[in-house]
Amino acid sequence: MPSEDAAPPLDVDQILADDGVRIVVCCGAGGVGKTTTAAALALRAAERHGRRTVVLTIDPARRLAQSLGLTELDNTPRQVKGIDVEASGGELHAMMLDMKRTFDDVVLQHTDPAKAAEIFANPFYQAMSSTFAGTQEYMAMEKLGQLHARGEWDLIVVDTPPSRSALDFLDAPARLSRFLDGRMLRLLLAPARSGGRSMFSLVTASFGMFSKVVQKVLGAQLLTDLSGFVAALDSMFGGFRQRAEQTYRILQARETAFLLVAAPEPDAVREAAYFAGRLRSERMPLAGLVLNRVHRPAADLSAAESLAAAERLAGVGGHEGTVEVLRAHAALAQQAVREEQVAARFTEAFPAVPAVSVAAQPADVHDVDGLRTIGEAISRS
């Protein structure tokens, strides 16, 4: 229900139809509907707006992936068949991020095959490329950079990893490149330039405690592996950082639109507000908020009214079914009010950010029809 403090309405179709918009990034807290929203928007961009669209999904649910024709991680976009693009002339391509393959590709691009093989064989690399916290975020950015550089698509819709915090997507690349940059590790491992004395022993002398802890935590073998890894990556540090910085600049450009996805729950809305603040300070273009999975009662009957009616009927007797329906309606109406209050916290903090609500569907969204329905809900058509 529109109220005086309501946010301006978000016009998603205007964004999807705008030739100047080349990247849409869907971000938000874990489990709020980022992947669903990204896929729904990409489908709509292709079907309604005739755009040659690619959606980069991250860990999509199996059934959703299957319905997009994605049966395995192959790290390249595949055209989605069986969608309704005859009239619009658009195309939809979809891919799932394979973070290890993406990392491998980056290594291959930045070094010769022999050195790459050495890196691939390193246990530290193996662990880091598949499990290191932040690798997925970094590789999502990397993949976005690659897709953008290919220049083949009118529109790239990007899903973001299921991080605990939405901010991880923006923070992880810097954190990872700081780690790869590994000043501290290099200080520990590199031989000193003068006197042939290892910097390691110098550091050991002054930070004895610290390196003992490092040894203990990492183990001697791992330290050797790590030393090899850092040495092998040495030539690529600049490359990694430069690429992350490049992608960061793309994210700041006018061709990018960030869409924040949130569920109408305190944690998700708080997360969305943090993220909106961060985008503002990074000068990254926030296009709007998608409040996903909201509950709306079917009739304009307040919780109090329907509870009162339920109690009156219950007193009469013989209307158990109706009483139950009225009580269920009251619960839903109460929930809707709570959700509006939660959403208002975001709108109060960011009154200029356009927003749209998407109703909770009766079932999970796992096929093209379901995505189309979500797309219609987001664009209120």
Ligand X SMILES: Nc1ncnc2c1ncn2[C@@H]1O[C@H](COP(=O)(O)OP(=O)(O)OP(=O)(O)O)[C@@H](O)[C@H]1O
Q: Residue 161 Cβ, how far from Mg ion at the closest point, in Å?
A: 7
Instruction: Report the residue number, 36 or 53, with the smaller CB distance to ligand X.
Output: 36
Q: Is 209 exposed, middle or buried (0-12, 13-18, 19+ CB in 10 A)?
A: exposed
163 lines the binding site for Mg ion (CB under 5 A): no
How many residues touch Mg ion under the rule CB under 5 A: the total is: 2
Q: Residue 204 Cβ, how far from Mg ion at the closest point, in Å?
A: 44
Query: Strands across the sheet with 256-262, in order?
Result: 78-79, 91-96, 52-57, 155-159, 23-27, 256-262, 286-294, 355-359
Instruction: Report the residue number, 70 or 85, with the smaller CB distance to Mg ion.
Output: 70
Q: Residue 294 Cβ, how far from ligand X at the closest point, in Å?
A: 8
* Alpha carbons 15 and 5: distance in angstroms, whole number: 24
Restricting to residues 22-41, which ones interact with Mg ion according to CB under 5 A?
A: 34-35
Contacts of 157 (CB under 8 A, 6+ apart): 23, 24, 26, 38, 39, 41, 42, 45, 53, 54, 55, 56
Instruction: Report the residue number, 34 or 372, with the smaller CB distance to Mg ion.
Output: 34
From ligand X, Mg ion, none, which one binds at residue 332 (CB under 5 to 8 Å depending on kind)?
none
* Alpha carbons 166 and 57: distance in angstroms, whole number: 16
Question: 10 Å Cβ neighbour count for 74?
Answer: 12
Tell me if residue 268 falls in helix, strand or coil.
helix
Instruction: Report the residue number, 198 or 373, with the smaller CB distance to ligand X.
Output: 373
Lookup: tokens for 290: 């998608």
Instruction: Report the residue number, 313 or 360, with the smaller CB distance to ligand X.
Output: 360
Residue with tokens 């991880």: 168
The full length of the chain comes to 381
Q: Residue 373 Cβ, how far from Mg ion at the closest point, in Å?
A: 18
Q: Residue 26 Cβ, how far from Mg ion at the closest point, in Å?
A: 9
Q: Which of 41, 139, 189, 358 binds ligand X (CB under 6 A)?
A: 358
Site map (CB under 6 A) of ligand X, residues 17-36, x = contact: -------------xxxxxxx
Lookup: tokens for 354: 């356009």
Distance of CA 87 to the CA centre of its chain: 31
How many residues touch ligand X under the rule CB under 6 A: the total is: 19
360 lines the binding site for ligand X (CB under 6 A): yes
177 lines the binding site for Mg ion (CB under 5 A): no
Instruction: Report the residue number, 35 or 122, with the smaller CB distance to Mg ion.
Output: 35
Site map (CB under 6 A) of ligand X, residues 55-84, x = contact: ----x-x-----------------------
* Alpha carbons 119 and 131: distance in angstroms, whole number: 16
Restricting to residues 30-89, which ones interact with Mg ion according to CB under 5 A?
A: 34-35
Tell me if residue 287 falls in helix, strand or coil.
strand
Contacts of 203 (CB under 8 A, 6+ apart): 187, 188, 211
Q: Residue 261 Cβ, how far from ligand X at the closest point, in Å?
A: 6
Q: Going along 2-82, which residue ranges are E strands?
A: 23-27, 52-57, 78-79
From ligand X, Mg ion, none, which one binds at residue 116 (CB under 5 to 8 Å depending on kind)?
none
* Alpha carbons 36 and 366: distance in angstroms, whole number: 8
Backbone angles phi, psi at 366, to 5 degrees: -135, 10
Instruction: Report the residue number, 70 or 226, with the smaller CB distance to ligand X.
Output: 70
| Interface ranges with ligand X (CB under 6 A) | 30-36, 59, 61, 162, 292-293, 358, 360-361, 364-366, 374
| Interface ranges with Mg ion (CB under 5 A) | 34-35
